Amino acid sequence: MALLKTIKAIGKYFYDIYDGVTSLARGMKVTGSYFLKPSSIVTQKYPENRATLKMFDNFKGELMLIHDENNKHSCNVCNTCARRCPNGSIEIIYKKVEGADGRTKKVLDKYVYHLETCSFCGLCVPSCDEFALKFDEEFEHAVFDRGKLTKVLNKPGSSSKATKE
């Protein structure tokens, strides 16, 4: 009886060695096969491929106010995007201008976007009835100074499509 037990134990010992070596070989076969196939490499060399790197169209980069070729945007200062933003990242500063018909009108002065508090939930873009906003494809947000994260989105000298000259 004791002999049988010893033989079994010895058998298990050698089986474990065989099992261990084959299991390791099976794993090494997978890694080895990729080692011999350089075509299967999926990694990208990031800073080098900057010129060709293209994000998807829907990518949520930084918020931008769409300007057309005449430097005109479509914001009519309705403040919906600022109210919808959960973090208060959008601040719309306007001034009141007297129009040709004698009524005062709100005109966009500064469209301030706080990138540092934006959580990219994407609620602002569909909230705009004028389709004035979109996310661009910028993904390198890092800057050295925190102040640079507060951005003014309307370009200098731009005006709204809604206001007549």
Question: Would you tell me which residues interact with another protein (CB under 8 A)?
Answer: 16, 19-20, 23-24, 26-27, 29-31, 42, 55-56, 58-60, 84, 86, 119-123, 126, 135
At closest approach, how far in Å is the CB of 57 from another protein?
8
In the complex with another protein, the residue whose CB is nearer, 19 or 68, is 19
Beta carbon nearer to another protein, 108 or 124: 124
Residue closer to another protein, measured from CB, 78 or 162: 78
Identify whether the C-beta of residue 66 lies closer than 8 Å to the C-beta of residue 74: yes
Nearer to another protein, 109 or 116 (CB): 116
Residue type (1 letter), 59: F
CB count, 10 Å around CB of 132?
Answer: 23
Minimum distance of another protein from residue 109's CB (angstroms):
26
> Burial code of 41-66, b = ≥16 C-beta within 10 A, e = fewer?
eeeeeeeeeeeeeeeeeeebebbbbb
Element (H, E) at 114: strand 104-114
Q: How far is the CB of 12 from another protein (least distance, A)?
A: 13
